[in-house]
Structure 1
Amino acid sequence: MRFTVFGATGGIGREVVRQALDAGHEVTAVVRDPAGLGVTGERLEVVRADLTAAGPLRAAVTGRDAVLSGLGARRRKDAGVAARLTRTVLTALEAEGVRRLLVVSAAPVGPPAEGDGALDRTMRSLVSAALKDVYADLREMEAELARSATDWTAVRPPRLQNKPLTCSYRTSVGGFPPRGRFIGRADVAHAMLTMVTDAGTVKQGVGVAY
């Protein structure tokens, strides 16, 4: 398959690129600074772009089977970038007729897990309050997806960790796995690639956690 990856220098985006290449796919990585990618391969194309306008992105997405995005705020002061940059990506996709789009959101954006205890509910409330601007940005991003013509999926992980790929995690379409507190970035990337061809995740938020 042919993929385009936005946010490819981030922890999840880089893993998406690496795992897709390892699986034999063709990958176009769209980055601001190619030096930050740290991944090479014969089937890898690197495109430098700053995502301020959709026009220059159209060539990077045309003819792709799916686009995967790790775009989002890396710090609280960056809140707002997820919705803004995703809006630009959506414009490029719709101009080129590319329908499949998967993005990284966050667990607090979706509904709480059924059966969570008091500790998990309290932790979720505290985290949501501390990062309210970041989550407001992600909610707006998901609203942009819902208004679009794309076959989107918003992958919603909890606290991210730098751990080796396990391929062992739980998912919940439209919900969140009970007591799911952590997940490694590599496994989020694996989940995204797995969901590319999963029709049951189209136009859905999907919780993913260990």
Structure 2
Amino acid sequence: MQLTVFGATGGIGREIVTQALAAGHRVTAVVRDPARLAVTGAGLEVVRADLTDVDALRPAVAGRDAVLSGLGPRSRKDAGVATRLTRTMLGALEAEGVRRLLVVSAAPLGPVPEGTGTLDHMVRGLVSAILKHVYADLREMEAELARSATDWTVVRPPRLQDKPLTGSYRTVVGGNPLKGRFIGRADVAHAMLAMTGDPGTVKQGVGVAY
């Protein structure tokens, strides 16, 4: 496949690029600073672009089979960035007629799994209160996707870890895995690549966790 990856210098985005190249895909990595992308390989094109400019992004997505995004707020100070950048990305995709799009959100935006214990409810509530502005941003991002003409998938991981790829994790379409508290960034990337060609995940939020 021909893929475009946004947020390619971040933890999940870098893993998407690495794994996609290893699988033989052709990858366009869209970055602000090419020097920050340490990944190399045959089939990789690195494009420097202003992520707030629809017209600047159009050549990077034109003719692609799918676009995958690891963009999102890295801290509470970045709240708002997910919606702004996703809105621009959607403009480029819709202008070029590219339909498949996968993005990263967060587990608390999905439904609470049946059987979740009281302690987990309390922890979820505390985290949601602390990161309320971040989650508000991600919620608006998901709303932007739902209003778009794209075949989107929102991937909702819980707490992210820097761990080697395992390929062993749980996914729930339209929900979250019960007691799913952690997942490695490499496995989120793996899940996103696996979902790219899965029609059952189109226009769905998908929880992913160990």
TM-score by length of 1: 0.99
- Mapped partners of 1:84, 1:114: distance in 2: 33
* Aligned residue runs from structure 1 range 1-210, under 5 A: 1-210=1-210
Residue-by-residue CA offset, 1:78-108 (whole Å, 9 max, x unaligned)? 1000000000000000000000000000001
- Mapped partners of 1:60, 1:195: distance in 2: 21
Deviation of 1:113 (Å): 1.4
- Mapped partners of 2:52, 2:196: distance in 1: 26
SS at match of 1:58: helix
Count of aligned positions: 210
Residue-by-residue CA offset, 1:138-157 (whole Å, 9 max, x unaligned)? 00000000000000000000
SS at match of 2:141: helix
Residue-by-residue CA offset, 1:132-185 (whole Å, 9 max, x unaligned)? 000000000000000000000000000000000000000000000000000000
TM-score by length of 2: 0.99
- Mapped partners of 1:122, 1:50: distance in 2: 40
Deviation of 1:50 (Å): 2.2
**RMSD of Structure 2 on Structure 1 (CA):** 0.5
8 Å contact from structure 2 (residues 50, 56) kept in 1 = no
**4+ long deviations beyond 4 Å:** none
Percent of pairs identical after alignment?
A: 80
SS at match of 1:14: helix
Question: What 5-or-longer segments of structure 1 have no aligned partner?
Answer: none
Deviation of 1:52 (Å): 1.5
SS at match of 1:13: helix
Deviation of 1:120 (Å): 1.1
Give the partner amino acid of 2:88.
T
Give the partner amino acid of 1:199.
P
- Mapped partners of 2:93, 2:127: distance in 1: 33
- Mapped partners of 2:106, 2:34: distance in 1: 26
Give the partner amino acid of 1:208.
V
Give the partner amino acid of 2:166.
T
Deviation of 1:45 (Å): 0.2
Give the partner amino acid of 1:200.
G
Give the partner amino acid of 1:169.
Y
50-59 or 200-209: which moved more? Answer: 50-59
